[in-house]
């Protein structure tokens, strides 16, 4: 039943997340502990300021994690999944990757 002056359906609610909030959600899908999540978040900030569209014109690295093999069509979830595979293969943990990043400014 349609009441006078009332819309037939409720209005859509649009929630806008900051880049940091999106990064936290993406990291939440790959990490187990809070300490690992904090290390991953620190890398994302240092690499791209959490920007999934970041592009390093010199190296060609792209995305929130600045992956050399990243594709422009990858969303933040795919980027994070690929970064997680890389980190776990090369460093075993995000905190080990972050320690390496602190020493050499890359991971």
Instruction: Give residue-wise pLDDT tens across range 61-84.
Output: 999 999 999 999 999 999 999 999
CB 99 within 8 A of CB 107: no
| pTM across the whole model | 0.84
Nearest residue to 42 via CA among 94, 104, 103, 88: 94
pLDDT value for 3: 54
Of all residues in the chain, the percent with pLDDT exceeding 90 is: 83
What is the rounded distance in angstroms from the CA atom of residue 70 to the CA atom of residue 55?
10
């Amino acid at each position: 039943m349609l009441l006078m002056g009332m819309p037939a359906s409720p209005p859509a609610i649009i929630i806008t997340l900051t880049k940091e909030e999106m990064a936290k959600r993406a990291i939440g899908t790959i990490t187990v502990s809070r300490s690992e999540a904090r290390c991953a978040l620190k890398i994302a900030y240092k690499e791209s300021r959490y920007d999934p569209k970041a592009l390093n014109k010199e190296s060609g690295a792209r995305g929130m994690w600045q992956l050399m093999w990243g594709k422009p069509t990858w969303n933040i979830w795919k980027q994070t999944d690929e970064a997680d595979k890389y980190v776990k293969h090369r460093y075993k943990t995000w905190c080990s990757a972050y320690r390496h990043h602190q020493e050499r400014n890359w991971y």
